[in-house]
Structure 1
Amino acid sequence: MTGGPAGLPRLACFDLDNTLIDRDASFVAWAEWWVARAGLGREVVEWLLANDEGGFRERPELFVGVKARFGLGGDVGAMVEAYDREHPLFTSAEPAVLNGLTSLRTAGWRVAVVTNGGTLQQAIKLEHTGIGAVVDFKCISESVGVRKPDPRIFKIAAEYTGATLEGGWMVGDHPAYDIAGGIAAGLSTIRIGNHHPTEATPDRTPTYHFSSVLQTFPVILAS
């Protein structure tokens, strides 16, 4: 049964980066391409990978740093804008992920991507990977004005999809944003991978912890 109170469908929320897609692998691919295009050495790639911080380092700060370290020219604002357009083109989604999302909707679930990040970059990722075409709502923090772990972002997703949060799920890789946020919104939670080691606390302890997002679809369908 997928129905919630008053017959509303239940909501399954998924983080994007390092949950539905391998964001870290796409950053490696982008960095290698960017450095090769500029005719720079392998040490620049290694610096970018060491200072990316899983995407959490602000992009202006990252490009200011790489410019200063290697004496590069170019305007930082233009570099960030180009990155936001170029990096998403190195992302991809496994067909099994797209099929899993589709299976939830076929079973009567509403499905939303709930992601922190800039509208341009995340929207391109969702279109390029095909994920945007198989979900009901793309909830990007910059677009809606709220970031995880604020539970309001999940309420926005529920409102836009005509779903209820009761009996719903949040799937993501980050304990402080995805898991804590989902728990605060009253959702069951599934953590993916171990990208962000953290101390286990009640507000960050997921219902399940899997290595792959593919393991989540049977669990949600059976709930």
Structure 2
Amino acid sequence: MFRRPTDPASLRVLSLDLDDTLWDVAPVIEGAERALREWLGRYCPRVTARYSPHGLRALRDRISQAHPDRTHDLSWMRLQTLEQALGDCGYPTHLAGDAFEVFLDARNRVSLHADVLPALEALHRRYTLVALTNGNADLERVGLGRYFDHYLCARGVGAAKPDPRMFQAVAEATGHAPAEVLHIGDDPERDVVGAARAGMVTAWVNRRGDPWPVDHPPPDTRISELLTLSDWLLRAAPPAR
């Protein structure tokens, strides 16, 4: 379903979620965790002997509970988990950096949805594009850096969507009012409700055909892929910048 924002000509900025909007994230994280475990098994085998994958997740959960003020920072959480696991098993904790780099390398090997590159190629010529993510994907390593003017992540902002500080950071970075921003993302609560509360126009990317949660206010736009939105936006877009 495609439903148009009321006044697209007023939009100047597009902020885009990354994980599960531009690529499917579950297989990416699964692959990254496999790569990490293989590295640990080769170089730090006492860790894999002591900690199963479930055991490492449980350790990360305990660290999260002990540091609720840091749960938005996924990189910090993983590094702390690795440092504690390595230390518990008698390894130097500085190896956590090497282990985490193995995870990050695989984490940034994503398979973009087919509509992503053509849509970004068209949109970045007309709009200021902002990547707005709770995750730790690296735009340059993913291969999308040239399309975006700004990259804002939960770790850098100090909060995670749907916290209003994430959306306020878009307005501050671009110098545009929230009403001039269209936020595009897959998560009804984190992306759509969070952006709407911040005063932005919202687009829900629903690639799986899921029903909209009845207890959430509806998005301004519902799309199944980005080209539908980009084609329509460009017909009412501001002049090329």
Establish whether TM, by shorter chain, passes 0.5.
yes
Please give the alpha-carbon distance, in whole angstroms, between the structure 1 residues aligned to 2:190 and 2:94. Answer: 27
Q: What amino acid maps onto 2:32 in structure 1?
A: W
Q: How does 1:67-216 map to 2 (within 5 A)?
A: 74=91, 78-79=95-96, 81-82=97-98, 84-90=100-106, 91-92=109-110, 94=112, 96-106=115-125, 108-117=126-135, 121-122=136-137, 125-193=138-206, 199-203=213-217, 205-216=218-229
Q: What amino acid maps onto 2:132 in structure 1?
A: V
Change (3 A) 1:128 1:75: same
Change (3 A) 1:3 1:213: closer
Higher-Rg member (1/2)? 2
8 Å contact from structure 2 (residues 188, 216) kept in 1: no
Q: CA deviation at 1:82?
A: 4.3
Q: What secondary structure is seen at the aligned counterpart in 1 of 2:199?
A: coil
Please give the alpha-carbon distance, in whole angstroms, between the structure 2 residues aligned to 1:199 and 1:105. Answer: 31
Change (3 A) 1:160 1:45: same
Question: Whose relative contact order is higher, 1 or 2, with alpha carbons under 8 Å and at least 6 apart?
Answer: 2
Q: CA deviation at 1:47?
A: 4.7
Please give the alpha-carbon distance, in whole angstroms, between the structure 1 residues aligned to 2:158 and 2:164. Answer: 12
Please give the alpha-carbon distance, in whole angstroms, between the structure 2 residues aligned to 1:16 and 1:100. Answer: 14
Please give the alpha-carbon distance, in whole angstroms, between the structure 1 residues aligned to 2:9 and 2:205. Answer: 26
What's the RMSD between the two structures over aligned residues? 4.0
Gaps of 5+ in 2: 1-6, 62-71, 237-241
Runs of 4 or more consecutive aligned structure 1 residues displaced over 6 Å after TM superposition: 50-53, 195-198
8 Å contact from structure 2 (residues 18, 133) kept in 1: yes
Q: CA deviation at 1:128?
A: 0.6
Q: How many residues align?
A: 204
Q: What secondary structure is seen at the aligned counterpart in 2 of 1:202?
A: coil
Q: CA deviation at 1:89?
A: 2.5
TM-score by length of 2: 0.63
Change (3 A) 1:101 1:115: same
Change (3 A) 1:33 1:153: closer
Please give the alpha-carbon distance, in whole angstroms, between the structure 1 residues aligned to 2:169 and 2:100. Answer: 25
8 Å contact from structure 1 (residues 92, 128) kept in 2: no
Q: CA deviation at 1:163?
A: 3.1
Change (3 A) 1:160 1:33: same
Change (3 A) 1:85 1:218: farther
Q: CA deviation at 1:139?
A: 1.2
Please give the alpha-carbon distance, in whole angstroms, between the structure 2 residues aligned to 1:201 and 1:76. Answer: 45
Q: What amino acid maps onto 1:110 in structure 2?
A: T
Q: CA deviation at 1:151?
A: 2.8
- The percent of aligned pairs where both chains have the same amino acid is 23
TM-score by length of 1: 0.68
Gaps of 5+ in 1: none
